């Protein structure tokens, strides 16, 4: 039987260098729910009986602004999830801890001086953004960028202080273009992990979600205006060094959609993109992701051998084959979100989302 062991961890910021992270106590919980999400922080909730909390744990939870804390989840002694406690809710004799994954720290980071990258590897830019903030006094959240390598894809990027850039958002945008990359923070090492062209493994020949392990399923398909696009128009504007407002425009098409379905247009807008190739990359990524009907199975899975914790992760590609009522539907899908739920009796379920 899988053993889940959540612990409360104190994070003490430092004027220079990484924060001090100290395990405070084990958490007795009525339920665990944590999520791994591709290129996003993920989240977790833990329901804890107040009477089971130690006085030290209570002392850290009473004021999260002065005693910041994290929750780490060990699964059979391996650290499987980690994140910051951001909100609490007390309901009767239970306190619910709501947490954001470690990548969420990047959304607390901002650009405080002009950063200009010309012909720089995209991994180096991502590392530079995080290092820019973490090098500042009390700005280090313990995200380790020391092993970030290179992708072989160079970019031009300008992030001006006055444009109020949020680093978490810029990381998402940097990775979301054609020839972009996937981003995560490893919970066990706190290393910033960048993967080009994408993370994950092709498990379509070995990882199956079908009638043997699907507990409940719903399947949505859509060719709505925002879900099937043949023609994408993208715009952005920025202020150049001379103080002049400059507008950029990109128009990208997918001929296969045009001939099979007809022309279907969508406009998207950005702010502060100052390089035409960057805007083109965003438009290409947008129309590429909408070149066929949207398929979104909502699946709750009973773990079994080959499809249990440790057997797959976000980014992996699997085979989905299920008859939800109108006939067998079989897709090759990439897993973008895994939610692990454990009830008070230790029974676990996975909820999966795909792209």
Query: Tell me: the pLDDT tens digits for 59-112?
Result: 999 999 999 999 999 999 899 999 999 999 999 999 999 999 999 999 999 999
* Predicted model pTM: 0.84
* 3-class state of residue 201 by DSSP: coil
Verify that 93 and 12 share a domain, yes or no: yes
Q: What is the pLDDT of residue 292?
A: 86
The answer as to whether 244 is a domain residue is: yes
207 touches 242 (CB < 8 A): no
Domain extent, residue 267, equals: 231-288
Structural domains counted in the chain: 4
Whole-angstrom CA distances from 69 to 10, 92, 146, 160, 295 are: 5, 22, 24, 32, 39
Long-range contacts of 333-339 (CB under 8 A, 24+ apart): 333/295, 333/297, 334/200, 335/38, 335/200, 336/37, 336/38, 337/35, 337/36, 337/37, 337/38, 338/35, 338/36, 338/37, 338/312, 338/313, 338/314, 339/33, 339/34, 339/35
The three-state DSSP-derived secondary structure of 141-196 is: CCCECCCCCCCCCEEEEEECHHHCCEHHHHHHHHHCCCCCCEEEECCCCCEEEEEC
Q: Could you say which of 82, 105, 128 is where a domain stops?
A: 105
The answer as to whether 200 is a domain residue is: no
Residue found by looking up tokens 């002009």 in the block: 114
Surface-to-core class of residue 34, CB atoms within 10 Å of its CB (0-12 exposed, 13-18 middle, 19+ buried) = buried
The answer as to whether 344 is a domain residue is: yes
Does the bond joining 273 to the residue before it have cis omega, within 30 degrees of 0? no
Report the sign of the C-alpha dihedral through residues 311, 316, 318, 322, in that order.
positive
The answer as to whether 124 is a domain residue is: yes
In whole angstroms, give the CA distance from residue 335 to residue 122: 24
Q: Which two tokens stand for residue 114?
A: 């002009």
Q: What is the pLDDT of residue 17?
A: 95
Q: Which two tokens stand for residue 69?
A: 């804390």
Verify that 114 and 191 share a domain, yes or no: yes
Which helix (H) or strand (E) segment is 105 a member of?
none
Q: Which two tokens stand for residue 259?
A: 């001939």
The answer as to whether 341 is a domain residue is: yes
The answer as to whether 96 is a domain residue is: yes
Which residue intervals of the chain are DSSP H helices? 55-61, 122-134, 167-175, 255-260, 276-288
Based on C-alpha coordinates, what's the Rg of the chain?
22
- Which of 320, 239, 228, 309 minimizes the C-alpha distance to 273? 239
Q: What is the pLDDT of residue 176?
A: 87
The segments of the chain whose pLDDT lies below 50 read none
The answer as to whether 182 is a domain residue is: yes
Verify that 215 and 349 share a domain, yes or no: yes
301 touches 213 (CB < 8 A): yes
Verify that 95 and 10 share a domain, yes or no: yes
Q: What is the DSSP letter of 133?
A: H
Q: Which two tokens stand for residue 189?
A: 């090492």
Q: What is the pLDDT of residue 289?
A: 84
Verify that 212 and 339 share a domain, yes or no: yes
Beta bridge partners of residue 335, listed in sequence order: 354
Size of the chain in residues: 355
Verify that 213 and 303 share a domain, yes or no: yes
169 touches 107 (CB < 8 A): yes
Verify that 236 and 215 share a domain, yes or no: no
Verify that 218 and 337 share a domain, yes or no: yes
Verify that 215 and 344 share a domain, yes or no: yes
Verify that 52 and 77 share a domain, yes or no: yes
The DSSP bridge pattern shows strands 115-121 and 43-49 to be: unpaired
The answer as to whether 203 is a domain residue is: no
Q: Could you say which of 288, 308, 334 is where a domain stops?
A: 288
Q: Could you say which of 272, 288, 304 is where a domain stops?
A: 288
Surface-to-core class of residue 27, CB atoms within 10 Å of its CB (0-12 exposed, 13-18 middle, 19+ buried) = buried
Verify that 17 and 99 share a domain, yes or no: yes
CA 62 and chain centroid, separation: 29
Q: What is the pLDDT of residue 270?
A: 85
Verify that 219 and 325 share a domain, yes or no: yes
314 touches 40 (CB < 8 A): no
In whole angstroms, give the CA distance from residue 48 to residue 35: 18
Q: What is the pLDDT of residue 302?
A: 86
């Amino acid at each position: 039987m899988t053993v889940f062991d959540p612990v409360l961890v104190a994070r003490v910021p430092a004027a220079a260098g990484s924060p001090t992270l100290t395990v405070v106590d084990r958490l007795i919980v009525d339920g665990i729910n944590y999520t791994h999400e591709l290129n996003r922080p993920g989240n977790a909730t833990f329901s804890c009986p107040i009477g089971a909390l130690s006085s030290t744990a209570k002392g850290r939870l009473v004021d999260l602004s002065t005693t910041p804390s994290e929750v780490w989840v060990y699964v059979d002694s391996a650290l499987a999830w980690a994140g910051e406690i951001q909100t609490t809710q007390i309901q009767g004799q239970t306190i619910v801890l709501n947490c954001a994954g470690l990548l969420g720290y990047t959304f607390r980071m901002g650009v405080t001086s002009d950063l200009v990258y010309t012909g720089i590897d995209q991994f180096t830019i991502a590392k530079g953004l995080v290092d820019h903030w973490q090098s500042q006094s009390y700005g280090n959240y313990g995200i380790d960028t020391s092993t970030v390598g290179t992708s072989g894809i160079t970019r031009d990027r300008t992030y001006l202080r006055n444009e109020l850039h949020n680093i978490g958002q810029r990381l998402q945008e940097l990775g979301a273009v054609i020839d972009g990359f996937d981003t995560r923070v490893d919970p066990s090492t706190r290393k910033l992990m960048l993967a080009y062209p994408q993370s994950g493994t092709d498990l379509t020949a070995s990882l199956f979600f079908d009638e043997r392990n699907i507990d409940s399923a719903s399947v949505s398909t859509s060719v709505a205006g925002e879900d099937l696009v043949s023609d994408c128009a993208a715009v952005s504007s920025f202020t150049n060094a001379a103080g002049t407002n400059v507008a950029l425009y990109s128009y990208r098409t997918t001929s296969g959609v045009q001939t099979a379905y007809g022309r279907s247009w969508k406009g998207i807008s950005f702010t502060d993109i100052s390089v035409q190739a960057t805007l083109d990359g965003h438009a290409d990524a947008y129309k590429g992701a909408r070149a066929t009907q949207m398929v979104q199975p909502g699946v709750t899975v009973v773990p079994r051998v080959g499809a249990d914790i440790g057997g797959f992760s976000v980014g992996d590609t699997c085979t989905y084959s299920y008859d939800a009522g109108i006939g067998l539907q079989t897709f090759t899908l990439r897993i973008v979100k895994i939610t692990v739920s454990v009830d008070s009796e230790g029974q676990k379920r996975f909820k999966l989302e795909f792209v």
